[in-house]
């Protein structure tokens, strides 16, 4: 009899692993599959006016349904780095333009722009007069 080889995606847990995890947590294997999170790698241009220092910082953020770039920045601020500076909601619907930043070189309004299916993005200030991180002066 000939041995059969089954290839599987090594980045995903096998069925036996899911079944074991389900026994431990009292969940079914399908619960474990649907609970697997997707992430976006957000690279953010930081600027510290106190130190006159610029750098790029990376954050791995879990994606959620309908996530906008504003909610992505809020998630980082609330869960990962409370020193991150950006303009939070004013109008919250894309009409006042105060939250403007650049994503992959293109100016957007983060409150009205969904993250979509992007896996990695570069967020930068949308202007040259940077006050701190993504906050620019409108003078
Ligand atoms: S908060 Fe007004 S455009 Fe984003």
pTM for the full model? 0.74
Instruction: Kindly report, residue by residue over 80-131, the tens digit of the pLDDT.
Output: 999 999 998 789 899 999 999 999 999 999 999 999 988 999 999 999 999 9
User: Is residue 78 located within the same domain as residue 105?
Assistant: yes
**3-state class (DSSP) for residue 75:** helix
Half-sphere exposure of residue 76, counting CA atoms within 13 Å on the CB side? 23
User: Is residue 87 located within the same domain as residue 105?
Assistant: yes
**3-state class (DSSP) for residue 64:** coil
Q: Count up the domains in the chain and report the number.
A: 2
- Closest atom of ligand 1 to CA, residue 90: 1
Range of the domain at 27: 1-36
Protein residues whose CB sits closer than 6 Å to any atom of ligand 1: 89-92, 94-99, 109, 111
User: Is residue 22 located within the same domain as residue 60?
Assistant: no
User: Is residue 51 located within the same domain as residue 99?
Assistant: yes
The answer to whether 31 and 19 have CB atoms below 8 angstroms apart is no
- Closest atom of ligand 1 to CA, residue 92: 1
Q: Distance from the CA of 110 to the center of ligand 1, in angstroms?
A: 7
User: Is residue 28 located within the same domain as residue 73?
Assistant: no
Tokens of 97: 């333009």
- CATH number of the structural domain spanning residue 56: 3.10.20.30
Instruction: Kindly report, residue by residue over 16-31, the tens digit of the pLDDT.
Output: 444 444 444 554 444 4
What letter would DSSP give residue 104? T
Tokens of 54: 């610029």
């Amino acid at each position: 009899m000939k041995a059969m080889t089954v290839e599987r995606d090594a980045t995903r847990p096998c069925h036996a692993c899911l079944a074991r995890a389900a026994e431990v947590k009292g969940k079914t294997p399908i619960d474990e599959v649907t609970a697997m999170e997707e992430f976006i790698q957000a690279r953010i241009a930081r600027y510290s006016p106190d130190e006159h220092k610029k750098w790029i910082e990376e954050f791995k953020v879990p994606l959620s349904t309908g996530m906008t770039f504003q909610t992505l920045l809020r998630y980082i601020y609330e869960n990962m780095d409370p020193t991150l500076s950006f303009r939070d909601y004013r109008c919250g619907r894309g009409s006042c333009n105060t939250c403007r930043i650049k994503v992959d070189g293109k100016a957007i309004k983060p409150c009205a722009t969904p993250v979509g299916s992007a896996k990695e993005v570069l967020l930068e200030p949308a202007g040259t007069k940077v006050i701190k991180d993504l906050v620019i002066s409108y003078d």
